[in-house]
């Protein structure tokens, strides 16, 4: 995927130079004209150039003479998913993302992205991975390679394909390697910060250490999960259910090879012949409203199971999202070996 700044052209650039940028962008040939502070002034495509040439504009003139001065855009701090879906359905492929000062801070390009979810992402990557030793003696588990890239790389790539670009990664064991590998995310069109856990804080405790969330929704996920989860559908179901908190659940079917009797006080009320029961396991991926973080004690060990119990007791709506796609928790050597085989055939 291109860096968003490939689409930016400084005000005053000649049309001839702008044409070179359009040629370089090829199928992504939409440019945004900005001032010295990257404030959006307009947009330009090859169609604007053609119309300018028809009207006798010369290629040595500044690009400002032919730009669209009122292009469509998305405001980073104020947008909803319905608007994004509408843009996508109406074939608006490339749109600038603006901050509160009208500066271009990213570009939404549906040639590469599936969506643009208004969600902050917190990835838990501080574990020691003891069950995968000796592989994790010198390498943190999130950086173990599955196929041609680290486990965590697969996760970040999948999440970013849905337009989530604000990340916090919780680190501890060999965390310096993770921080060095991903940096601040700038080269990936992402914003990445790191939350260091001097003491283990469980699967939810680190959320209390983050004070600068940028959106009203937070996705919390384990770093060692391999999945093709449709994050947009997960988010839309969350909204439709009016949930406060949601957990991805993994269906497990259990086949009973005998007839099962349903009894009451020793009396047989009914029976089912060789039934199949479906149970749902915690998939380690959670979505919540930002205010849910207020229920987490500050800087203390606290698991998501503790949080869910508290929310249910408080009358909050906790929603189960059964996953129909692929999911694998890479916790043991046999899981790691399975991931190496599955990565060749998973449909992302």
Give the CATH number for residue 243: 3.90.550.10
Judge whether residue 267 has pLDDT over 80: no
Provide mean pLDDT across the span 45-68.
91
347 lies in some domain? no
270 lies in some domain? yes
209 lies in some domain? yes
Provide mean pLDDT across the span 119-142.
91
Euclidean distance between CA atoms 216 and 78, whole angstroms: 10
Any idea what the CATH number is for the domain that residue 93 is in?
3.10.580.10
294 lies in some domain? yes
- Domain identity same for 196 and 215: yes
Domain end: 55, 86, 109, which one? 109
- Domain identity same for 128 and 269: yes
- Domain identity same for 50 and 166: no
- Domain identity same for 150 and 290: yes
- Domain identity same for 29 and 137: no
Let me know: does 231 contact 164? Beta carbons within 8 Å: yes
Q: What is the pLDDT of residues 282-333, one digit of tens each?
A: 999 999 999 999 999 998 999 999 999 999 999 999 999 999 899 999 989 9
Tally of domains in the chain? 2
- Domain identity same for 248 and 140: yes
**What are the DSSP calls for 2-39, one per residue?**
--GGGGEEETT-BHHHHHHHHHHHGGG-EEEEE-TT-B
Q: Identify which of 101, 100, 104 has the alpha carbon closest to the alpha carbon of residue 43.
A: 104
pLDDT at 266 (0 to 100):
75
Judge whether residue 201 has pLDDT over 80: yes
Q: How confident is the model at residue 258 (pLDDT cuts 50, 70, 90)?
A: confident
- Domain identity same for 303 and 178: yes
348 lies in some domain? no
Judge whether residue 70 has pLDDT over 80: yes
Provide mean pLDDT across the span 207-235.
94
323 lies in some domain? yes
Q: Is 36 exposed, middle or buried (0-12, 13-18, 19+ CB in 10 A)?
A: exposed
Alpha helical stretches, state H, the chain? 15-25, 46-54, 81-89, 151-161, 175-182, 231-241, 304-313, 333-342
Judge whether residue 18 has pLDDT over 90: yes
152 lies in some domain? yes
- Domain identity same for 206 and 245: yes
User: Which residues form the domain of 320?
Assistant: 119-342
114 lies in some domain? no
In the sheet that holds 30-34, the strands lie side by side as 8-10, 30-34, 40-45
Q: What is the pLDDT of residues 98-121, one digit of tens each?
A: 999 999 999 999 999 999 999 999
- Domain identity same for 104 and 132: no
- Domain identity same for 16 and 89: yes
Residues β-bridged to residue 119: 217
pLDDT at 130 (0 to 100):
86
- Domain identity same for 73 and 211: no
Domain end: 82, 109, 136, which one? 109
Q: How confident is the model at residue 57 (pLDDT cuts 50, 70, 90)?
A: confident
pLDDT at 264 (0 to 100):
77
**What are the DSSP calls for 264-279, one per residue?**
ETTEEEEEESS-EEEE
- Domain identity same for 192 and 47: no
pLDDT at 198 (0 to 100):
84
Residues 6+ apart with CB under 8 A from 177: 139, 140, 143
Q: Cis link prior to 31 (omega < 30° from 0)?
A: no
Judge whether residue 1 has pLDDT over 80: no
3-state secondary structure at position 90? coil
3-state secondary structure at position 261? strand
Domain end: 83, 109, 135, which one? 109
């Amino acid at each position: 995927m291109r860096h968003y700044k490939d689409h930016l052209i400084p005000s005053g650039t000649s049309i001839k130079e702008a044409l070179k940028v359009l040629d370089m962008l090829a199928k992504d040939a939409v440019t945004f004209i900005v001032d010295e502070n990257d404030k959006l002034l307009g947009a330009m495509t090859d169609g604007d150039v053609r119309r300018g040439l028809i009207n006798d504009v010369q290629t040595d003139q500044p690009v400002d003479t032919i730009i669209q001065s009122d292009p469509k855009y998305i405001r980073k701090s104020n947008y909803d998913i319905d608007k994004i879906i509408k843009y996508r359905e109406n074939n608006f492929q490339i749109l600038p993302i603006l901050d509160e000062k009208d500066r271009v801070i990213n570009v939404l390009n549906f040639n590469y992205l599936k969506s643009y979810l208004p969600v902050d992402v917190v990835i838990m990557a501080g574990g020691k991975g003891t069950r995968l030793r000796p592989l994790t003696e010198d390498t943190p588990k999130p950086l173990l390679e599955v196929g041609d890239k680290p486990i965590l790389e697969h996760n970040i790539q999948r999440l970013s394909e849905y337009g989530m670009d604000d990340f916090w990664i919780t680190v501890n064991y060999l965390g310096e390697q993770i921080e060095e590998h991903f940096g601040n995310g700038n080269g990936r069109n992402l914003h990445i910060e790191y939350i260091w856990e001097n003491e283990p804080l469980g699967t939810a405790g680190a959320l209390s250490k983050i004070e600068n969330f940028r959106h009203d929704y937070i996705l919390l996920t384990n770093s060692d999960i391999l999945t093709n989860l449709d994050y947009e559908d997960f988010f839309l179901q969350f909204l439709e259910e009016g949930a406060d908190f949601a957990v991805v659940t993994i269906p497990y079917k259990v086949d009973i090879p005998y007839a099962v009797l349903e009894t009451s006080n020793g009396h047989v009320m009914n029976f089912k012949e060789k039934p199949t029961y479906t149970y749902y396991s915690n998939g380690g991926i959670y979505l919540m409203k930002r205010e849910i973080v207020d229920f987490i004690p500050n800087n203390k060990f606290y698991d998501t199971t503790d949080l869910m119990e508290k929310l249910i007791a408080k009358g909050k709506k906790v929603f189960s999202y059964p996953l129909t796609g692929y999911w694998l928790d890479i916790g043991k050597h046999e899981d790691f070996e399975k991931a190496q085989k599955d990565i060749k055939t998973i449909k992302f």
